Structures are given as C-alpha cells and as structure tokens.
Amino acid sequence: MKLVTVLMLAAFPLYCCAGSGCSVYKDLVDQTTDPTQSPAEYVAAFQEFITDNATAKAAMELKQCYLNQSNETLANFDQMMQAIFESVWCAAF
C-alpha cells in the first residue's frame, strides 16, 4: 500500500507540470492532508476519478493512512509537496 501511495503522489506533480492539472493536484494534496475530512468525504470529492469499488476502497485506505499521521508529519508533507510544485524543474514546463 505504501508503494501505491508513493507512486500516486509522485505522478501528480508530473501531471501538474504537464500543464493540465495544477488545480486538481493542489486540491488532492490539500484534501489528502486535511485531518478534518473523513475518508468517505475524500472519496466523494474525487468521485469523477474513481471508476469502481476497488478504487474507492483504495482511496479510503490512502486517506486513512494520512489520518493516522500527526499534524507535524502532515505539515512536513505539505511543505515537501509545495517545494516540488514550486521547483524550477516544474516551472520549466
């Protein structure tokens, strides 16, 4: 599950840098790390990208993994994602 999480989150900056999904990427990161949002709300927010029950279950498990983290860990993750998003490499696209 950790590998899937890493691969999913690694793909989103590339998707954003391609010029087609920056707002989707920002929403995904914000909602993934929001400790007040439940897994069911998370799945509902991204329903257009969820095609079946297995994907919905995986998204709920992903969200639960983030809910299990401390606020400090979530803040550090946000900083890392912001650094990637604002990097020179990403801005080149």
What is the share, in percent, of the chain residues with pLDDT greater than 70?
69
Half-sphere exposure of 66 (CA within 13 A, CB side): 26
Which amino acid, one-letter code, is at 78? D
Signed CA dihedral, 63, 38, 30, 13: sign only: positive
Q: What is the pLDDT of residues 33-50, one digit of tens each?
A: 899 999 999 999 988 888
**Residue 27: what pLDDT?**
84
The model's pTM: 0.68
Do 78 and 69 form a contact (C-beta atoms < 8 A)?
A: no
Tokens, residue 38:
């439940």
